[in-house]
């Protein structure tokens, strides 16, 4: 790998790790998502050849997180069927649980817009959607999180 490619990856890594931590499941290390996205991208060519490497890699990370979330969901359902008597699952505060239950793309949009203070248009571009879709996704994510936090009958 060339020095300029190494420097580019080093400069992008903190931002990529943050989006991986938000988009990925708690069962997946953010560094694993970033490294998998980098490996898959490097197989296709140099990262410096991309028009917008940060946006491309962020989208790749969100896609990988979505794939792994589906795989983990299948695994958890199978484990639940096999060990129904054990009944132990880690518990998190309800606010965190509500956010972690959101799909990766929803979490990614919320993170970029609310935490990184990225405009909807830029967040949309980085995640491969329109600005209107990013706004709608963020709105749905907020609504889903509010619904998850509501107390039934209260």
Confidence at residue 153, expressed as pLDDT on a 0 to 100 scale: 57
Q: How many domains does the chain have?
A: 2
Summarize pLDDT for 89-98 with one digit per residue, the tens.
Answer: 555 556 677 7
pLDDT higher than threshold 90 for residue 18? yes
Question: What residues contact residue 59 under an 8 Å CB cut-off, 6+ apart?
Answer: 126, 127, 128
If phi > 0 it is left, if psi is from -120 to 50 it is alpha, else beta; for residue 71 that is: alpha
Could you tell me how far CA 48 lies from the centroid of its own chain? 23
Give Cα 58 distance to the centre of its chain. 8
Residues with Cβ within 8 Å of residue 16, at least 6 apart in sequence: 34, 37, 38, 54, 57, 58, 61
What pLDDT score was predicted for residue 1?
Answer: 66
Domain that holds residue 60: 1-90
Minimum mean pLDDT among 8-22, 46-60, 65-79: which range? 65-79
Whether residues 56 and 117 share a domain: the answer is: no
For residues 122 and 134, state if they share a domain: yes
Q: Residue 120 belongs to a domain with what CATH number? A: 1.10.10.10
Q: Residue 113 in contact with residue 123, Cβ under 8 Å? A: yes
Q: Are residues 35 and 98 in the same domain?
A: no
Q: Identify whether residues 128 and 149 lie together within a single domain.
A: yes
Q: Are residues 106 and 140 in the same domain?
A: yes
**DSSP assignment, residue 151?**
P
pTM above 0.75, yes or no: no
Q: Are residues 110 and 133 in the same domain?
A: yes
> Is the domain of 60 the same as that of 118?
no
Q: Are both 27 and 74 inside the same structural domain?
A: yes
Work out the pLDDT band at 86, boundaries 50, 70, 90.
low
Same structural domain, 64 and 115: no
Are 82 and 45 part of one and the same domain? yes
Q: What is the pLDDT of residues 50-68, one digit of tens each?
A: 999 999 999 999 999 988 8
Residue 111 has pLDDT above 80, yes or no: yes
Task: Assess whether 48 and 61 both reside in one domain.
Answer: yes
Q: Buried (b) or exposed (e) across 118-147, using 16+ Cβ within 10 A? A: bebeebbbbbebeeeebbebbeebeebbee
pLDDT in tens, 20-45: 998 888 778 999 999 999 999 999 99
- pLDDT, mean of residues 7-18: 95
């Amino acid at each position: 790998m060339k020095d300029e490619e190494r420097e580019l990856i080093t400069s992008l890594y903190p931002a990529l790790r943050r989006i991986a931590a938000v988009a990925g499941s708690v069962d997946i290390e953010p560094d694993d998502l970033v490294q998998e996205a980098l490996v898959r991208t490097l197989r296709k060519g140099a990262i410096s050849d991309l028009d917008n490497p940060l946006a491309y890699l962020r989208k790749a990370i969100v896609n990988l997180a979505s794939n792994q979330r589906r795989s983990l969901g299948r695994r958890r359902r199978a484990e639940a069927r096999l060990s129904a008597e054990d009944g132990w699952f880690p518990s998190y505060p309800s606010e965190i649980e509500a956010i972690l239950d959101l799909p990766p793309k929803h979490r990614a949009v919320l993170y970029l817009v609310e935490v990184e203070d990225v405009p909807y248009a830029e967040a949309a571009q980085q995640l491969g959607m329109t600005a209107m879709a990013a706004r709608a996704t963020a709105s749905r994510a907020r609504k889903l999180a509010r619904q998850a936090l509501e107390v039934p009958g209260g």
